[in-house]
Each structure stands twice: as C-alpha cells, then as structure tokens.
A and B are shown apart, each in its own frame.
Chain A
C-alpha cells in the first residue's frame, strides 16, 4: 500500500464527516441542493483535471461523458428492470466504452487538435441526444422522472438519505482519483505531460497511457452526471452542450493548478457566482464571459493560485525578515488551504 494512502484516507473521512455534518448544522434544504450540484459538477471538474492538469490533455468535450452517465443511468432506471447500483455501474461502464472509442481517435492528436476534436465529438453526442427524440426526449430532456427504489434498505426518496449517499459516492470517487494521481501510473502521466518524447524513449506507451486516463476520467465524470440525474430526476441535452465543458474548464482554471483539490475550489466559486448571477440578471453569459476575461487577462491565473501565491510570497517575506511573534491573524488566513495541499 502506498505510503500516503492512510493520510489520504484520513482526509477523505474528515471531509466526508464535514459534508455529512453541514446539513445537520444548517438544515436549510437549499444548502443540501447546492451541495449535491457541487458533488456532480465537482466530479466533472476533478476528472477533467486528470486530463488537463495531470496529463496536459486539454479536453473541450468532457461534458459528453457527464451527459452519457446521466442519460444511461436515467434510461436504465426508467426501464424498471434494474436496481440503482446495477444501473449506475452499467452507466459508468457504458460511458467508459464510449470514451474508449472516442479516445482511441482523439489521443493520437496533438494539443490543439485534441481540444477541438473532443469538442466536435461532444457536439456529435449532443446532436444524437437532440435528434433521437424517441429515446431521449430530444430538446425536452428525459422526462417522466427517474424512480428511486430503495437500496440496501435505504430510502433514497428521503432527501437526507439521498444527500448522504451522494456525499459518500462523491468522496469515494475523489479518493479514487487521488489514488490514481499518486500512483506510478499518475507519475507516468506527469512525465508524458512534461516531456512526451522522453517518456516514449523510456519505453512508455504514450498513446495507451493517455487513452487509459481518458477513459478513467470519462468514467468519473459519468458518476457526476448520474448523481445529477438522480437528484433532478431527469437528464437534459444541456448536460452535453459545449458550454458545460467550457464551465468545467473555467472551474479548473479558477481553482488553479497547484492543489489537487483545486478544481473543487473552482466549482464552489463558479457555482456561487452562477447562483447569484441568475438571481440578479438573465444575461448570464454576458456576466460570466466578462468575469472570465477579467480573471484571465487581469489576474492571469486562477483565483486559488492567486491566493496561494500571495500566501507563499508572504511566507517567503516573513522567513526573510527577522523572526517575530506569530500573529494569529495570519494563521487564520492560511487556514482554508490547510489539508488541501497536494
């Protein structure tokens, strides 16, 4: 077993405890809903970062797998033939298969080609969803609700049980992604990102490795999709629209590259922004677009990276200056980042 695993497990359990405790302390249903959306989009952003941050593959079509998880799960549950865990496994497996086919074509391509071909395939999946009205409901989305039969005696129609189950699935997936990123496979991917030619010389099958992480990331994104489908009791073509992929990329950028859980920070920030923007204006795109331009051109890096760099610079200055008494305020400031370092 890997040395850091126990620590990761402890962090995961603490995180799970926190997530379970939050709605108990603040019992408003709105918070629970917000957090379930956070789980779903967080998984998409985290899994996309396995491609973007870890492997250097900038996919612009990741939402396709998010949507395929949601639709496959929804359709299987509506058929009434299988239980939730079986439908979930089948949805994840089916998505992995789709990703295997699409990935086999895409991962051979260089940087920017990869970006726009993944986008093209995503829009292909979107157009299938919109045109195959008989199966998917087309523009209207998958309607009629998704049944939630009890699982192991748990009644998922109870909002609290549903929330708890989603939290567990979320944390397990994050832990799995952490394991992959810290494994020898994960370090091989970092090498491919930094120097593919060298990796190739060392006998690494670069294409196979890229395909492997592409399929894994797609499977993880599909879990996000099925959480959302289970929660909203439906699936919509917007899940597969290119803007969803764009948002996922923005989440990663906001959260920054320096922390493993950075994309989750980005998800939280973007979701909060979206929440308030939709309250005050219907011109969501205009506001979001402007915010992105300001951050990319102004800060020139993600918000979380900005804070992280500021703290690092401050520490460096403090280390350079003659040691003084530790001011309590500064430890407090650094607190949100504790436990999140890579």
Chain B
C-alpha cells in the first residue's frame, strides 16, 4: 500500500491527467463489453458467458484485418461486424436451443463455446502473446493536456466508445425499433401476437450485443497484448460492472464502468497489489447497501 504516491499523483496535474485518461479508456472498454452483456440479458434473459471470448475474437479479427489491409478503420469494422455475425450464428445454432432450459445447460453451452474459441484462436495464431502495434494513423505525438500527455489514440477510442454508447441509448430509447425491443423484453408473446418476428429480433439483439463486444476487442487490439483466454478477465470485470451499475441499465453500466476504470487507474498507484481486491470490495459494498445496483430498478 502506498497512499503517499496516490496523494502525490492526485496533487500533480500531469500525473492526474495521465491516470484519468488511463481510467477513461479502461472504463470505456468495459462499458462497451458490459452494455452488450446487459442488452442481451435485458432482452433475452440469459447471461452470455461467452461474451469475453467474443471480445477476444474481435481483437484477433481486427489484428488479422489490420495485417491484411493496413487500415485501422477496416480492422475496426471487421472486428465489430465479424463478431456480430458470429453472435447471430451462435444464437441461432446453439443458444436458441437452450432457451427456457435450466441454467446448467446454458452455462455448459457457453463453457463449451469458450473452450472451442480459445482453442481455435490458439490453433490459428499460436499460444504466445501477440501485439498489433499502434496503427500508423495514430502515430502522432501525444496531446498535452494540463501538463499531462495523452496519446491521440486514447482520445479517438474514448470518442468511438462514447459514440457507440450514445447511439445504443438513443436507438433503444428514442426509436420505434427500440420500443419494440423494450416490449420484447417485457412481453415476448404479446410482441409476437402483433405480427412481429420475435425470432429475428432475438437473433438481432444477440448479434448487436456481440457486436459491441467485438468493437471493444478491436479498439483494445492496438493497446493490449492479444492472447487466447484474454476474454476471461474482462468478462469478470464486466460482471462486477453489471452488479455495481444495475442489470439492464445502460446509464448504470456507463457509470459503473467509469468507476471501475478509475479504481483501476488510481488503485494501481495507491495499492498496486490490491486493485482486484478493491473492485471486489466495491462490489460487495454495493451488494450490501443497494442490491439492485446503483441505477438498477428491479431487485436482484
């Protein structure tokens, strides 16, 4: 534990800016992954345990697309759309067969899928760490903000993640389709009775949720090392974010993801060995004080 370093950092503008930017990108990545997870749970009522593996898939797809084309934009689209498509297939071929059956079966199907994806990536890319490297477009000198240096890519990433979150929120709360999806979450029979193809909607929502995980993976590819099994830690963190923010609330996920991001960034200075513990302590605290999460409505 090193509280002195933490106080020093907080009182120096440059260190604070650096850590805030780190916290922001960690939080934004977590937000993208969690909002996908939360969307799928909110509408379909299942927890997609493969969500972390989808994040990994997005990162590797982006890695390959970037290696082939040299364009980060293509890499991002490939990661997001590829994983979205994969999510639709997974929902249609596998997940839809275990709807309404006990959780054990859903867990097992996800467990099997993670094993297959992790091993598949290992076969295609090898088991060792891979680095994508910073795309040339972002090979700029870091931006100086209040004495702290922030890489240009960080700003881009936060912007994309924020835009994606905003589009998702507007799409669900302000459009006709969003209204149908919300209705689907509450009363699927009724929605079906109105002549709306619920099967298609379920697949679409699952695909959209997966797409968000893929996008997060693609955005993370330039700044994280890629390894098979990289999805597990982000899956666990997004569980924690879900609990803190409240299941099914996009705003809650946003708030909680930032909270965890800053906890990680500043915790790494103050209590480097206890960062994970800090996240769990935070979660336990929320569970005791407000079991439904910060912005969750229904009781957990």
| Chain B positions 91-109 with a Cβ under 8 Å from a chain A Cβ | 94, 97-98, 101-105, 107-109
Q: Are B107 and A115 in contact (CB under 8 A)?
A: yes
Q: List, in ascending order, chain B residues with CB within 8 A of A288's CB.
A: 112, 115
Q: List, in ascending order, chain B residues with CB within 8 A of A297's CB.
A: 94, 97-98, 109
| Chain B positions 102-142 with a Cβ under 8 Å from a chain A Cβ | 102-105, 107-109, 111-116, 118-120, 122-123
Tell me if A252 counts as interface (CB < 8 A to partner B): yes
Tell me if B243 counts as interface (CB < 8 A to partner A): yes
Q: Are B239 and A116 in contact (CB under 8 A)?
A: yes
Q: List, in ascending order, chain B residues with CB within 8 A of A115's CB.
A: 47, 103, 107
Q: Are A123 and B236 in contact (CB under 8 A)?
A: yes
Using A105-B287, A108-B287, A111-B103 as known contacts, say yes or no to A249 and B300 having CB atoms under 8 A apart: no
What's the Cα separation between A297 and B49 when bound, in Å? 17
A-B contact count (CB 8 A): 117
Q: List, in ascending order, chain A residues with CB within 8 A of B113's CB.
A: 289, 293
What's the Cα separation between A297 and B105 when bound, in Å? 9
Tell me if A79 counts as interface (CB < 8 A to partner B): no
What's the Cα separation between A116 and B52 when bound, in Å? 13
User: Number of contact residues on A: which range applies?
Assistant: 35 or more
Which of A34-42, A159-167, A224-232, A279-287 has 4 or more CB atoms under 8 Å from chain B? A279-287
Q: Are A116 and B116 in contact (CB under 8 A)?
A: no
Most buried by A among B104, B233, B277: B104
Q: List, in ascending order, chain B residues with CB within 8 A of A128's CB.
A: 276-277
Using A286-B115, A289-B119, A296-B112 as known contacts, say yes or no to A117 and B243 having CB atoms under 8 A apart: yes
| Chain A positions 97-138 with a Cβ under 8 Å from a chain B Cβ | 105, 108-113, 115-117, 119-121, 123-124, 127-128, 131-132
Tell me if A60 counts as interface (CB < 8 A to partner B): yes
Q: Are A60 and B273 in contact (CB under 8 A)?
A: no
Q: Are B115 and A52 in contact (CB under 8 A)?
A: no
Tell me if A253 counts as interface (CB < 8 A to partner B): yes
Q: Taking CB as reference atom, which chain A residue is nearest B237?
A: A120
Q: Are A113 and B300 in contact (CB under 8 A)?
A: yes
Q: Are B109 and A293 in contact (CB under 8 A)?
A: yes
Tell me if A250 counts as interface (CB < 8 A to partner B): yes
Using A109-B300, A120-B240, A296-B109 as known contacts, say yes or no to A285 and B273 having CB atoms under 8 A apart: no
| Chain B positions 39-64 with a Cβ under 8 Å from a chain A Cβ | 41, 46-47, 49
Tell me if B156 counts as interface (CB < 8 A to partner A): no
Q: Are B116 and A124 in contact (CB under 8 A)?
A: no
Q: Taking CB as reference atom, which chain B residue is nearest A109?
A: B300
Tell me if A324 counts as interface (CB < 8 A to partner B): no
Main secondary structure of the interface of A (DSSP, over half): helix
Q: List, in ascending order, chain B residues with CB within 8 A of A283's CB.
A: 119, 122-123
Tell me if B284 counts as interface (CB < 8 A to partner A): yes
Q: List, in ascending order, chain A residues with CB within 8 A of B151's CB.
A: none
Q: Are B276 and A124 in contact (CB under 8 A)?
A: yes
| Chain A positions 273-322 with a Cβ under 8 Å from a chain B Cβ | 283-286, 288-290, 292-293, 296-297, 300
Q: Are A60 and B107 in contact (CB under 8 A)?
A: yes
What's the Cα separation between A226 and B111 when bound, in Å? 26
Tell me if B232 counts as interface (CB < 8 A to partner A): yes
Q: How far is the CB of B9 from chain A (nearest CB, A)?
A: 22
Q: Are A131 and B273 in contact (CB under 8 A)?
A: yes
Q: List, in ascending order, chain B residues with CB within 8 A of A293's CB.
A: 94, 109, 112-113, 116
Q: Are B119 and A286 in contact (CB under 8 A)?
A: yes
Q: How far is the CB of A51 from chain B (nearest CB, A)?
A: 11
What's the Cα separation between A5 and B195 when bound, in Å? 59
Q: List, in ascending order, chain B residues with CB within 8 A of A300's CB.
A: 101
Q: How far is the CB of B201 from chain A (nearest CB, A)?
A: 21
Q: List, in ascending order, chain A residues with CB within 8 A of B291's CB.
A: 108-109
Tell me if A92 counts as interface (CB < 8 A to partner B): no
Tell me if A246 counts as interface (CB < 8 A to partner B): yes
Interchain CB contact (< 8 A) of A249 among B108, B123, B239, B284: B108
Q: Are A120 and B115 in contact (CB under 8 A)?
A: no
Q: Are B116 and A285 in contact (CB under 8 A)?
A: yes
Q: Taking CB as reference atom, which chain A residue is nearest B45?
A: A112
Q: Taking CB as reference atom, which chain B residue is nearest A60?
A: B107
Q: List, in ascending order, chain B residues with CB within 8 A of A289's CB.
A: 111-116, 119
Tell me if A192 counts as interface (CB < 8 A to partner B): no
Q: List, in ascending order, chain A residues with CB within 8 A of B108's CB.
A: 246, 249-250, 253, 292, 296
Q: List, in ascending order, chain B residues with CB within 8 A of A292's CB.
A: 108-109, 111-112, 115
Q: Are B123 and A286 in contact (CB under 8 A)?
A: yes
Interface mask (A247-266 → B, CB under 8 Å = 1, otherwise 0): 00110110000000000000
Tell me if A146 counts as interface (CB < 8 A to partner B): no
Other A-B pairs, 15, CB within 8 Å; known A289-B114, A296-B105:
A112-B41, A115-B103, A116-B239, A117-B243, A123-B232, A124-B236, A124-B276, A127-B276, A128-B277, A131-B273, A242-B232, A243-B111, A286-B116, A288-B112, A297-B97
Pick 10 A–B contacts, CB within 8 A, sort by A.
Answer: A112-B103, A119-B236, A124-B236, A249-B108, A285-B122, A286-B115, A292-B108, A292-B111, A293-B113, A296-B108
